[in-house]
Amino acid sequence: MRRVDGTISATRKPPPACEKTTVVSRTGPRRSESVRLAVLHAADDLLVERGFAALTIEGIAQRAGVAKQTIYRWWKSKVDILLDTLTDDAREALEWRADESRGVEETLTSHLQRVADFFEEPAGQVLLALLGHAQLDSETAASLRAGFLKEQRERDIAGLRDLLARDQDLTFDDRTLDHLVDLLLGPLYYRVLVSGSPIDKELVETTSRLVLALAREPSTRNP
């Protein structure tokens, strides 16, 4: 996949040529994994080039080299296509990576930097477009929250729980962990969604340091 700056990103990796995968979507079976990936690649490339409003099924079909009827057989709308491409790309890009050779703060900072980098990728632009559209369309909001956002939230809570367990055996109840994830990711989402500014290294490092400091406070831990 291309980055916003035109360079090649390894976020989405195509399957080996010999691999044949039967994929089932919310609208029925898909005949070809290669065609599915062509459609997803076309959708996020066109989103970056033209924006959400100008993105059409016709344009996606033309860029992917498939019939429009094929797309409608698998997806109901461009929003469904974008939800699928977001799910595919974000699974690896936003993964929490355990690295015992690094300290807790370094590991947390590294993860936040990957989140920051994600927003510069086409997949991050897809997420921002869907979040924006969700403010105007209740069906998109419901699909986004019940699918990608819910699943990513669960991964973030589990990842932070595992990381904090390495730090002085810190353990937290679900409610406290939920709040810590808000504090960890909130500044990054605020920066890109509200101020529209890049997420710089200072914000990443400061956020990581402050969240860890709060987690280590005796009053924050489980009784």
pTM: 0.81
Q: Smallest Cα–Cα separation from 165: which of 90, 108, 126?
A: 108
CATH classification (class only), 23-76: mainly alpha
Q: Which 3 state secondary structure label does DSSP give 85?
A: helix
Average pLDDT over residues 139-161: 96
Q: What are the tens digits of pLDDT across the range 29-54? A: 545 888 999 999 999 999 999 999 99
The pLDDT assigned to 91 comes to 86
Q: What are the tens digits of pLDDT across the range 97-108? A: 988 888 999 999
Task: Report the alpha-carbon angle 191-81-40, nearest 5.
Answer: 90
For residue 210, what are its two tokens?
């402050």
- Between 27 and 153, the more confident residue is 153
How many other CB atoms sit within 10 Å of the CB of residue 103? 12
Name the β-bridge partners of 8: 2
Q: What are the tens digits of pLDDT across the range 152-208? A: 999 999 999 999 999 888 889 999 999 999 999 999 999 999 999 999 999 999 999
Report whether 9 contacts 1 (CB < 8 A): yes
Q: What are the tens digits of pLDDT across the range 73-93? A: 999 999 999 999 999 889 889
Domain boundaries, the chain: 23-76, 86-220
Q: According to CATH, what is the number of the domain 86-220?
A: 1.10.357.10
- Where helices occur in the chain by DSSP H, the ranges are 33-50, 57-64, 68-74, 78-93, 104-118, 122-134, 138-144, 150-165, 174-190, 201-216
Q: Please determine whether the domains at 23-76 and 86-220 fall in the same fold group of CATH.
A: no
